[in-house]
Structure 1
Amino acid sequence: MAGRDFSIFDDSPWLAGGPGRLGPATAVPTMMSHEEELLCHWLTARWAEGWGAVVDLGAFVGGATARLAEGQRAAGHGTGVHAFDRFAVAEGHKEKFLYGAGVAPFAGEEALGLAQTLLDPWAERVTLHKGDLRAARWAADTPIEVLVVDATKAAVTTDRIARIFYPALRPGSVVVQRGYLHWREPWVAVQMHWLREYLVPIGHATDDSVVFGCVATPSDADLERATTEGMSDREMTRDLLAAREVFARFGAEERLLDLVQGIERSPGKRAAWAMVPRW
């Protein structure tokens, strides 16, 4: 495999063609915006060449997984989609994202069976990995071509994801950081700033996603330097401001201010649930 020209991302080509291309994947509930749905499908249908795995971290009940798998099916690639999650859904999320989408009410948080049912149309190409992502395993010699990350709700988890999965990235791989612009997850932008020599910003999808292209595989030492869990608020703010050009490129300067102010309101906090809102 060789590095690729990422300039096609400048024109957001996933927006062309309308939603009909998603096919049966639209029936799988998701927390994604519509543009993020289209992005996931386009990445596997049009961008991926089929030399590496497709990995979905923080799969919920399979929303992104279904869009990725449907795109992969359209492309005729057989590398499969690996989805990682606890597959447990809180009551509030059931009400907000599942029941209104046609899922019958159910007791308890366990959702692995639901995910399996929803993803049945792609059962031959989807592998579900249930458990804590911090304990997940992935072999560095098993290349990842497309990596969608929606599991960065804590700095420690963000760091573990990098150590487990980023050694499998290769030049031409694409990483979608779905929490990059979210004010509750400032450590994501900080870590990607530290990894800027290896993962370069190439695209943005509403609301919070920034897409990165891999130009070189980060070493274990690189990933150690990019650890965010032990950073001070001052260091984190410094690195966010140093990443200003990324935010400006995607017209998201106000989002940068949101991240900085989130740190100011939440001294020492490194988990999304602990971040203090401004209202």
Structure 2
Amino acid sequence: MAPSHPDRPTLVQRLRAAGCVYAEDEADLLIAAADSPTTLADLVDRRIAGRPLEHLLGWAEFCGRRVAVDPGVFVPRARTALLVAAAAAAAAVAGPAPAVLDLCCGSGAAALVLHDRLAPRWLAAADLDPAAVACARRNLAPLGVPVYQGDLFAPVPPRWRGRLDLVVANAPYVPSGAVQLMPPEARLYEAPMALDGGADGLAVLRRVAGAAAQWLAPGGHLAVETSAGQVDPLCAALVAAGLEPTVVSDEDLEATAVTARRPG
């Protein structure tokens, strides 16, 4: 359906009243996604009730790509573009055709973009959440990228231990006490394990840091997303794990990423 759909003004008004900041854009996307007036009415009602737009559409736009996103799966955020850019820049230092692992991959969005930017000799993704793994497999199967289910590095083939040039991890980093302060569409409709980072938000990231040095090749890099307020303790954990951290930030995206190199 075209944006000139006769119900569009009413839909925009309803979405705006429900708090949708980009009501006009959302109305156009919902109109385009609906194959009948009944379907459109259902989509709009569910959006007004708080369902994430991306779950209703079945996809999210990330770094210029449409990434399939199933209900319950973490929706890739615009700010994570900084993590992907920092990871790609770090991997370039290792030379052409790096070996890359996307941990806590969610929908596989980061792996999709890194596949295009790096032309890796080996690329894989992993997540603990079965729904995320199924979604990532749907996104990455056309590229021949395997997606493993399990806790962090546990399901990764052991032959890659000490041979990875890049590990990128958009691990959960929201402190447990702050999850309830997140927008309802995140805390109610995304998997808690994709959001909750423990008491100070760094529980999972500390585990990633502690294990990464064993999986990275000498000169390889770990790249993670975090918040500005968590940089100091995270960098301390990376240094304790034998890695050399560098902080990257982007005020426009309100994003912070840390890359950490394994010496040698």
TM-score, L = length of structure 1: 0.48
Q: Distance in 2 between matches of 1:26 and 1:181?
A: 27
Q: Which residue of 2 aligns with 1:81?
A: 123
Of residues 111, 114, 139, the one that matches 1:65 is 111
Structure having the higher strand fraction is 2
Q: Could you tell me how far 1:85 is from its partner in structure 2?
A: 0.8
Q: CA deviation at 1:36?
A: 2.9
Per the alignment, in what secondary structure is the counterpart of residue 228 of structure 2? coil
Amino acid at match of 2:262: C
Query: 1:49 deviation in Å?
Result: 1.9
Residue 219 (structure 2) pairs with residue 172 (structure 1): yes
SS at match of 2:113: helix
Structure 1 residues 87 and 25: alpha-carbon distance in aligned structure 2, compared to 1, 3 A threshold: farther
2:66 aligned partner, one-letter code: A
Counterpart pick for 2:204 among 149, 157, 169: 157
**3-state SS of paired residue (1:61):** coil
Match of 1:252?
Answer: none
The amino acid of 1:30's aligned partner reads: P
Aligned to 2:258: 210
CA-to-aligned-CA distance 1:77-134 (integer Å, 9 cap, x gap) = 42x212111245xxxxxxxxxxxxxxxxxxxxx2333222222442x2x221112327
Give the TM-score normalised by the residue count of structure 2: 0.50
Shift of 1:52: 5.0
| Secondary structure at the counterpart of residue 95 of structure 2 | coil
From the superposition, tell whether residues 137 and 120 of structure 1 become closer, same or farther in structure 2 (CA, over 3 Å). Answer: closer
- In the alignment, the residues of structure 2 paired with residue 53 and residue 163 of structure 1 have an alpha-carbon distance, to the nearest angstrom, of 20
Q: Residue 186 of structure 1: CA displacement?
A: 7.0
Match of 2:147? 128
Deviation for aligned residue 1:147: 1.2
Q: Mark the runs of 5 or more structure 1 residues left unpaired by the alignment.
A: 1-21, 89-109, 217-279
Deviation at 1:143, TM superposition (A): 0.8
Structure 2: gaps of 5 or more residues: 1-60, 68-74, 173-196
Q: 1:60: how far off?
A: 1.1
Q: 1:23 to 1:42 in 2, by over 3 A?
A: farther
Bigger-Rg structure (1/2)? 2
Q: CA deviation at 1:173?
A: 0.9
Contact 2:235–2:245, Cα closer than 8 Å, also in 1? no
Q: Which amino acid aligns with 1:208?
A: T
Conserved? CA contact 1:86–1:130, under 8 Å: yes
Which residue does 1:189 correspond to in 2?
Answer: 235
* TM-aligned CA deviation for residue 204 of structure 1: 0.7
Equivalent position of 2:136 in the other structure: 115
Equivalent-residue separation in structure 2 for 1:70 and 1:113 (angstroms)? 21
RMSD value, Cα:
3.4
**Structure 2 vs 1, CA of residues 32 and 84 (structure 1 numbering), >3 Å: closer, same or farther?**
farther
Match of 2:14 in 1: none
Post-superposition Cα deviations, 1:146-193, rounded to whole Å, max 9, x if no partner, equal 11122252455344434443212233211112126354x875333124
Q: Which moved more, 1:134-143 or 1:60-69?
A: 134-143
Query: Which position in structure 1 is the counterpart of 2:168?
Result: 148
Amino acid in the other structure paired with 1:129:
Y
Q: In the aligned structure 2, how far is the partner of 1:23 from the partner of 1:127?
A: 20
Task: Give the structure 2 partner of residue 199 of structure 1.
Answer: 243
Instruction: Provide the rounded CA distance (Å) in 2 between the counterparts of 1:42 and 1:204.
Output: 11
1:26 aligns with 2:65: yes
